[in-house]
């Protein structure tokens, strides 16, 4: 009987050791040990570091029509979280995931496991590596060469992981009026030069190069941030204007009419481009949705349908918080046999606005034109 306490201690110690061992095994291999329910993703085999090689690039091609969502670096790094998004993407017809290569606060590189990129590829999902070049825009000039070298090193790292596309964001000057000594043409040369050099190196490896631009750049011929569609058309393969209706603060009509904002921006940009594929970033968040009178899922669906109607190369939904429940609901609306609520009224409003714009351009002011012009002065 005297040995019973000792046996209890030994039993407890054995249980603790077993628990710790199981925990370590689950942490390392948990995602691949779980049974795969029917209709979910195919889990990629774990690739050991010493055997890591980039996946073959021969099977999956750049989408003719992007249907994508954005994921921040934490989700890109966590196998289980990413697997959940891949499952939902396949369920809802999403074919592209844009994955951050840096954290969203300090823009430091965050290591994405190669097996996570392989997971996308094995499930027919086009993986895009997003790289922020100049956080919040370029604030000093000339550009430090060490910064350029750092961003290109990160792009090469993404290629080694198996990414098929490098998407450069914040490739622009700061939108604050600083650096006034740098002329407009010099700004264009810097932005387009960086992208052209990056494309020259990366295209030799079969990599698609894309660039995010301000939504207003789709409508502006010249912009002080150093982005213009005609120059970018020769520098990258894909151009992505961030045409979030909430950001068109100079036009109450554009804020309140997401279909019109995306359709107008898409058609104007499409007609200006000769080579690059046009893909729109669309708004998947709540900012200034209320003036439209639409629920967020319908608001998102209107933007998606506008891209389809404009016959461009697709869309990617942006939600920094990754709250994509409304986006999945929007995709259900897109797939339904019945029309999207309010879409015919949105198309009619867009046609009226276009006629008003034509009247203004020719100097003919109809009552509708006058009302619209006065409504946009505030």
- Please write the tens of the pLDDT for every residue from 82-125: 999 999 999 999 999 999 999 988 899 999 999 999 999 999 99
Distance CA 169, CA 151 (A): 11
- pLDDT score of 44: 42
pTM, entire model: 0.82
- Please write the tens of the pLDDT for every residue from 354-363: 998 888 877 7
Total Cβ atoms within 10 A of residue 275: 11
Domains and CATH numbers, the chain: 60-341 (3.20.20.80)
Do 224 and 175 touch, CB atoms closer than 8 A? yes
**What is the share, in percent, of the chain residues with pLDDT greater than 90?**
76
Region 284-304: mean pLDDT is 98
Do 204 and 197 touch, CB atoms closer than 8 A? no
- Please write the tens of the pLDDT for every residue from 320-329: 999 999 999 9
- Quick one: pLDDT band at residue 53, thresholds 50, 70, 90? very low
Residue 181: which residues within 8 A CB-CB, separation 6 or more? 141
């Amino acid at each position: 009987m005297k040995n019973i306490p000792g046996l209890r201690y030994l039993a407890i110690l054995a249980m603790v050791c077993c628990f710790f061992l199981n925990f370590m095994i689950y942490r390392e291999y948990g995602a691949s040990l779980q049974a795969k329910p029917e209709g979910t993703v195919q889990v990629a085999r774990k690739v050991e570091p010493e055997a890591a090689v980039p996946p073959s690039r021969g099977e999956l091609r750049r989408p003719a029509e992007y249907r994508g969502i954005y994921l921040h670096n934490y989700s890109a790094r966590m196998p289980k979280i990413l697997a959940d998004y891949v499952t939902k993407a396949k369920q809802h017809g999403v074919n592209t995931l844009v994955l951050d290569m840096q954290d969203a606060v300090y823009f430091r590189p965050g290591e994405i496991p190669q097996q996570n990129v392989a997971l996308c590829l094995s499930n027919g999902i086009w993986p895009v590596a997003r790289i922020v070049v100049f956080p919040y825009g370029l604030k000093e000039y000339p550009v430090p060469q060490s910064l350029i070298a750092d961003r290109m090193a990160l792009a090469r790292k993404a290629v080694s992981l198996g990414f098929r596309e490098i998407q450069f964001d914040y490739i622009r000057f700061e939108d604050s009026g600083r650096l006034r000594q740098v002329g407009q043409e010099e700004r264009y040369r810097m932005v387009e030069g960086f992208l052209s050099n990056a494309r020259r190196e990366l295209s030799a490896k079969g990599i698609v190069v894309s660039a995010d631009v301000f939504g207003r750049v789709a409508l502006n011929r010249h912009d002080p941030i150093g982005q213009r569609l005609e120059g970018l058309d020769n520098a990258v393969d894909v151009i992505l204007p961030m045409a979030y209706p909430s950001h068109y603060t100079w036009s109450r009509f554009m804020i309140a009419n997401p279909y019109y904002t995306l359709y107008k921006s898409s058609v104007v940009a499409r007609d200006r481009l000769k080579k690059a594929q046009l893909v729109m970033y669309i708004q998947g968040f709540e900012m200034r949705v209320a003036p439209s009178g639409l629920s967020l899922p319908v608001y998102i669906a209107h933007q998606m349908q506008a891209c389809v109607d404009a016959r461009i190369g697709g869309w990617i939904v942006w939600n920094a918080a990754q709250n994509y429940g409304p986006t999945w609901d929007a995709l259900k609306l897109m797939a339904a046999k019945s029309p999207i609520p309010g879409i015919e009224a949105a198309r009619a409003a867009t046609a009226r606005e276009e006629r008003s714009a034509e009247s203004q351009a020719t100097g003919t002011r109809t009552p509708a034109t006058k009302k619209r012009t006065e409504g946009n002065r505030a």
